[in-house]
Amino acid sequence: MRPQIVPRFVRTRLRKYGRAIRLSVHRNARSQRPRRLGVLHHIAITSTKQRCGLGSELVSKFVSIGQIHSVEAFQLLTHTSNQSAKRFYLKHGWSVKDEISDNDGEEWVLMTC
């Protein structure tokens, strides 16, 4: 309605409004950030040391260290055919979330804790 005030608006307010919009977008993006996820990739124990509680200790320490670093969820994949690993993780509080196939056609069990 009053075009003569446009230059003054641009000089005095546009930068302030633009900064507020950028901060708002940044704040919203940060609040929708995915949660921290811990992925257990491998546990290896020599056959002579198996069934001594070392695997249980390793998994427990993994979760404890993750919790110290604000990890909110943990997951792992194990072959569908590896029933002993599946029983081991179920015994330690993990649960089966899904069964998936990779690009090579191998079947995997996705477990979470």
pLDDT at 108: 92
Residue 53 tokens read as 């509680």
Confidence band (pLDDT; 50, 70, 90) for 34? low
Q: Is the pLDDT of residue 33 over 60?
A: no
Q: Distance (Å, rounded) from C-alpha 97 to C-alpha 84?
A: 17
Q: Distance (Å, rounded) from C-alpha 41 to C-alpha 59?
A: 11
Q: Which residues contact 80 (CB under 8 A, 6 or more apart)?
A: 99, 107, 108, 109
pLDDT in tens, 63-101: 999 999 999 899 999 999 999 999 999 999 999 999 988
Neighbours of 55 (CB within 10 A): 18
pLDDT in tens, 51-68: 899 999 999 999 999 999
pTM: 0.65
